[in-house]
Structure 1
Amino acid sequence: MPTYEMVLLLKKMNQAGLKSVLTRNAKYILESGGTLRRMENLGFQRTPFAVKIAGQPRENNAHYFLLHYDAGITENSEILDKCRRDMDVLRSTSHVEHLTPGGDLDEQPKPECTIWEDMLPAPERPSVKVLLEQNEERQKNFAKRRFKYNSGLHYDPF
């Protein structure tokens, strides 16, 4: 089963309302045979444009949530259909995050921690040293290619 990432834009509501909407949408995933991996709250933000649902006033702000879940391809279309029919959801969309069997998010390679290198002064960092060496080489090459007037004067008379 592929791993999907669903973005939900929810109406402005209190915490109890948010909890009920999120549990309802999580149940859609679980009832269709999917497994919910995690939920992320991206906060209450202004929408790029006013969102209008039939028979309701326009919404300029929304609660943004990300749901990561595993489901089959046909189950994903059912989940999206149920989420779009929910009156408290302004917008919902999903895309495939991983196509590997199982789509385990924990198997991703974790980046190496370089905080100790980043805390060094700039000239002592290994990445900056490489850049400084490259700059010195460029300066030497530029000096070689520089036009020489060979006029015996130390300035350009023209």
Structure 2
Amino acid sequence: MPLYEVTLITKSLSKADLVNTIKRAATTFLDNGAVIDSMESLGHRDLPFRRTSKLLKEPTYSTNYFLLNTYMSIKTMNDMTKLLKNDRDLLKIHAVSEHEKPTRPDSCDLHEFLKPPAYRKSVEELRENQRLGHFPRMRLYKRVEREWKAIPKSYPIPPPRK
């Protein structure tokens, strides 16, 4: 069974209601065959954007965040997210597999970032693969055309006719 990080975002509740909500979610996990490895409260935080509660459709601006590390099968995870999305005290539930988490690069590229932008390898690749769209190309063409017309032209004098 793969390890999942399950994020539970609850409404702003009293302590007793919050305990009942977390107990209800945890027992639902355990009843469906999941093994809870650890549970962590991330505290009471402001939401990045307004959410509406399911029952009364009232706006919610701050919530409680909880993080559960659980071992469960993929089918159980899909069933649990569908089941807990119907809970009226939970605003959001999201499960992320440990395999899906982005990993940090092993090497440090600080010396590359300290170079001026013109000498960076990434900028050189961008310049090599650069393609101009229609409008920038036309702007460039008109600018070159204006500069060309601004240059005084001297026409050669033709030889006299015989």
Q: CA deviation at 1:53?
A: 3.1
Residue in structure 2 matched with residue 83 of structure 1 by the alignment:
84
Q: 1:130-158, CA deviations, whole angstroms, 9 ceiling, x for partnerless residues?
A: xxxxxxxxxxxxxxxxxxxxxxxxxxxxx
Secondary structure, counterpart of 1:79 in structure 2: helix
* Structure-1 separation of matches of 2:13 and 2:72: 29
Structure 1, unpaired ranges of 5+:
100-158
- Contact 2:7–2:95 (Cα < 8 Å) also in 1: yes
Structure 1 residue 94 corresponds to structure 2 residue 95: yes
Q: 1:88-146, CA deviations, whole angstroms, 9 ceiling, x for partnerless residues?
A: 001110010259xxxxxxxxxxxxxxxxxxxxxxxxxxxxxxxxxxxxxxxxxxxxxxx
* Structure-1 separation of matches of 2:60 and 2:44: 12
* Structure-2 separation of matches of 1:29 and 1:18: 17
* Structure-1 separation of matches of 2:49 and 2:60: 9
| AA partner of residue 42 (structure 1) | L
TM-score if structure 1 supplies the norm length?
0.60
Structure 1 residue 32 corresponds to structure 2 residue 32: yes
Secondary structure, counterpart of 2:98 in structure 1: strand
Runs ≥4 in structure 1, deviation > 2 angstroms?
53-56
Secondary structure, counterpart of 2:85 in structure 1: helix
Q: CA deviation at 1:28?
A: 1.3
Identity in percent? 28
Residue in structure 2 matched with residue 4 of structure 1 by the alignment:
4
Distance 1:98 1:30, change over 3 A: farther
| AA partner of residue 22 (structure 1) | I
- Contact 2:11–2:53 (Cα < 8 Å) also in 1: no
Q: 1:2-33, CA deviations, whole angstroms, 9 ceiling, x for partnerless residues?
A: 00001111001111111100010001111111
Q: Which stretch of the first structure deviates more once superposed, 24-33 or 47-56?
A: 47-56
> Aligned-residue CA RMSD in angstroms?
1.6
Residue in structure 1 matched with residue 48 of structure 2 by the alignment:
48
Structure 2, unpaired ranges of 5+:
101-162
* Structure-1 separation of matches of 2:71 and 2:57: 32
Correspondence 1:141-156 to 2 at 5 A:
none
In our comparison, the structure showing a higher alpha carbon Rg is 2
Correspondence 1:14-25 to 2 at 5 A:
14-25=14-25
Residue in structure 2 matched with residue 150 of structure 1 by the alignment:
none
* Structure-2 separation of matches of 1:53 and 1:82: 17
* Structure-2 separation of matches of 1:43 and 1:53: 19
| AA partner of residue 26 (structure 2) | A
